[in-house]
């Protein structure tokens, strides 16, 4: 990932060209959006190690996958041009990778250029919280030149080292599973998906389920366009034989037989229809009355930088001990699809956070509106700062846990006690205030001091179970696991009511 023109495509091309075996020239023709590259293994000569590059068209694809809960990327290579430094899309790539929790390696590209300044790039990245390892931090930053093929092996070795540290492993013997990188409807071949096998070995003839569709592998093609019959872990392949076109980010799973695949596909289609109905009516900032929600994440877009700064400061200052407001992205310009995707991916992550996009004197792009509707992302448009403030405050209040309030229902005076062998002590009482309810909680009060607090075990009127007994009437009460009741004690019944918070 990285800013436009910083050399992502060139770097990938250079790595792939250097990797084409002699005599295989012209082999790179097929574009399937993912490429296998083989790196010699110094520990085991002859056993090359495979690195798969996902050539995602943009950060959107990466985030879209994450929003769907798929994890295709183990490591992000952030490409930054040494003659240009940190740019807006660099920052965006860093935000997305961080949000996804995917470790990063930086390729500082174009070091062949006379005005290349790798140190300036490092400084810029350090400003984003990425500390270069040679400055004592934990991010590897490799100077490379795609044009001069410089240091590309070091970059690949660093990727493999990182993979070792992360202990990335897969079993080739399991039933295959993986993730869809791209899918389309091809006129001649039907539904075609580029999939990355993550576990197991995918074989021609395997029945599988992908997203909401079933299928049976009819044919497979490698990233070099060659027909293959098997795809072991970490292989990108084009798969034919799907019953429908899945979405990028859908997972696929090989199952025992095609009937099973069809049954699961049918169930998923039904669930998806139900979920779509529920989703459209939930999840906005207003519906967040539930417990635990503690952080309100804001994506802020405004027409001018001045407003961005003022709004950011104003909103973050609203933070209280119970609810924090955190601006996860702020910028000038219309609300873009990438903003919505970031919101969607973030809100999928945790039940204790809520996300809202604020547009101040700006509007969403039409793609952004569509995606927001589909992903149920909350977008609020404003042109007055204090209105934004009011709305965020209301949302914060909505996020607070309900307040628990005790309500005393009534009181009974103990007039006699009976010991019943299996039940323990039963108190013969008269209700002297309010009501006593069977489901209520109770306290035993002796000489004005609470000596026990718990639940009522039974409530009876003349040997009959009663739900409640009112002021002036007599009743028998026994308490859960408590028998030390004496004449003259008082039993107070109460309930805990939950009421929504109304202020911060």
Residues that bind ligand GDP (CB under 6 A): 2, 4-10, 109-110, 112-113, 145-147
Tokens coding 354: 């809520």
Rounded to an integer, what distance in angstroms lies between the CA atom of residue 292 and that of residue 80? 40
Nearer to ligand GDP, 115 or 404 (CB): 115
Nearer to ligand GDP, 6 or 68 (CB): 6
Nearer to ligand GDP, 8 or 437 (CB): 8
Nearer to ligand GDP, 108 or 427 (CB): 108
Nearer to ligand GDP, 49 or 110 (CB): 110
* Minimum separation from the CB atom of position 126 to ligand GDP (A): 22
DSSP letter at 145? B
Nearer to ligand GDP, 120 or 380 (CB): 120
Angle between helices 88-100 and 118-127 in degrees, nearest 10: 50
* Minimum separation from the CB atom of position 85 to ligand GDP (A): 14
Residue listed under structure tokens 């070792």: 164
* Minimum separation from the CB atom of position 93 to ligand GDP (A): 11
Rounded to an integer, what distance in angstroms lies between the CA atom of residue 413 and that of residue 429? 5
Rounded to an integer, what distance in angstroms lies between the CA atom of residue 64 and that of residue 111? 32
* Minimum separation from the CB atom of position 196 to ligand GDP (A): 21
CA distances from 183 to 57, 194, 210, 266, 375 (A): 14, 6, 11, 20, 20
Residue whose C-alpha is closest to residue 482's, from 448, 457, 449 = 457
Nearer to ligand GDP, 152 or 356 (CB): 152
* Minimum separation from the CB atom of position 120 to ligand GDP (A): 16
Rounded to an integer, what distance in angstroms lies between the CA atom of residue 298 and that of residue 327? 5
Tokens coding 450: 């609470």
Rounded to an integer, what distance in angstroms lies between the CA atom of residue 366 and that of residue 378? 15
Tokens coding 239: 């798969």
Helix (H, G, I), strand (E, B) or coil at 82: coil
Nearer to ligand GDP, 150 or 295 (CB): 150
Nearer to ligand GDP, 75 or 87 (CB): 87
* Residue 55 CA to its chain's centroid (Å): 22
Rounded to an integer, what distance in angstroms lies between the CA atom of residue 127 and that of residue 106? 14
Maximum Cα interatomic distance, the chain, rounded to a whole number of Å: 103
70 with 9: CB under 8 angstroms? Answer: no
Nearer to ligand GDP, 4 or 407 (CB): 4
* Minimum separation from the CB atom of position 147 to ligand GDP (A): 4
Q: Which residues pair with 39 in a beta bridge?
A: 49
Rounded to an integer, what distance in angstroms lies between the CA atom of residue 116 and that of residue 253? 47
Tokens coding 341: 């995707």
* Minimum separation from the CB atom of position 99 to ligand GDP (A): 21
CA distances from 256 to 14, 173, 218 (A): 41, 14, 16
Q: Is 172 exposed, middle or buried (0-12, 13-18, 19+ CB in 10 A)?
A: middle
* Minimum separation from the CB atom of position 77 to ligand GDP (A): 11
* Minimum separation from the CB atom of position 79 to ligand GDP (A): 6
333 with 305: CB under 8 angstroms? Answer: no
* Minimum separation from the CB atom of position 121 to ligand GDP (A): 13
Nearer to ligand GDP, 14 or 330 (CB): 14
Q: What are phi and psi of 436, to 5 degrees?
A: -110, 130
* Minimum separation from the CB atom of position 82 to ligand GDP (A): 8
Cα-based angle 145, 151, 157 (whole degrees, multiple of 5): 135
* Minimum separation from the CB atom of position 148 to ligand GDP (A): 7
Nearer to ligand GDP, 146 or 371 (CB): 146
Residue whose C-alpha is closest to residue 38's, from 286, 224, 176 = 224
């Amino acid at each position: 990932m990285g800013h436009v023109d910083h050399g992502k495509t060139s770097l990938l091309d250079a790595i792939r060209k250097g990797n084409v075996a002699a005599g295989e020239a012209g082999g790179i023709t097929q574009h399937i959006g993912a490429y296998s590259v083989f790196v010699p293994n110094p520990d085991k000569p002859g056993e090359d190690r495979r690195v798969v590059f996902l050539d995602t068209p943009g950060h959107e694809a990466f985030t879209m996958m994450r929003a769907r809960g798929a994890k295709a990327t183990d490591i992000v290579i952030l490409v930054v041009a040494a003659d240009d430094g940190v740019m807006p899309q660099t920052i965006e790539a860093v935000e997305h990778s961080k949000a996804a929790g995917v470790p990063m390696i930086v390729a500082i590209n174009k070091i062949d250029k006379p005005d290349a300044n790798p140190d300036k790039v490092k400084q810029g990245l350090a400003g984003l919280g990425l500390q270069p390892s040679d400055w004592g931090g934990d991010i590897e930053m490799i100077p490379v030149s795609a044009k001069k093929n410089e240091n590309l092996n070091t970059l690949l070795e660093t990727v493999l080292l990182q993979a070792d540290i992360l202990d990335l492993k897969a079993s080739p013997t399991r039933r295959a599973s993986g993730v869809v990188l791209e899918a389309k409807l091809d006129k001649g071949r039907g539904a075609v998906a580029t999939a990355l096998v993550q576990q197991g070995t995918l074989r021609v003839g395997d029945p599988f389920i992908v997203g909401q569709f079933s299928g049976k592998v009819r044919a497979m093609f490698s990233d070099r366009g060659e027909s293959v019959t098997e795809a072991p872990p970490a292989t990108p392949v084009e798969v034919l034989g799907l019953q429908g076109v899945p979405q990028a980010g859908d997972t696929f799973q090989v199952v025992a037989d095609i009937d099973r695949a069809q049954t699961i596909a049918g169930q998923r289609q039904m669930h998806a229809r139900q979920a779509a109905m529920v989703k459209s009516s939930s999840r906005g900032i207003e519906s967040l009355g539930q417990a635990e929600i503690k952080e309100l994440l804001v994506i802020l877009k405004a027409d001018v930088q001045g407003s961005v700064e003022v709004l950011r400061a104003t909103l973050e200052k609203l933070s209280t001990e119970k609810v924090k407001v955190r601006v996860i992205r702020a910028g000038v310009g219309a609300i873009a699809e990438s903003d919505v995707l970031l919101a969607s991916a973030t809100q999928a992550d945790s039940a204790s956070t809520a996300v809202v996009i604020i547009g101040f004197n700006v509007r969403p792009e039409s793609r952004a509106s569509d995606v927001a509707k589909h992903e149920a992302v909350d977008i609020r448009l404003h042109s007055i700062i204090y209105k934004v403030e009011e709305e965020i405050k209301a949302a914060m209040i909505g996020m607070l846990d309900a307040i628990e309030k005790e309500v005393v229902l009534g009181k009974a005076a103990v007039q006699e006690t009976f010991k019943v062998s299996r039940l323990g002590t039963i108190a013969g009482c008269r209700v002297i205030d309010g009501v006593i309810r069977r489901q209520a909680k109770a306290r035993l009060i002796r000489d004005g001091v609470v000596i026990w607090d718990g639940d009522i075990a039974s409530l009876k009127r003349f040997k009959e179970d009663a739900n409640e007994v009112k002021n002036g009437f007599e009743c028998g009460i026994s308490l859960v696991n408590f028998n030390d009741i004496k004449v003259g004690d008082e039993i107070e019944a109460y309930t805990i009511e939950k009421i929504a918070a109304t202020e911060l």
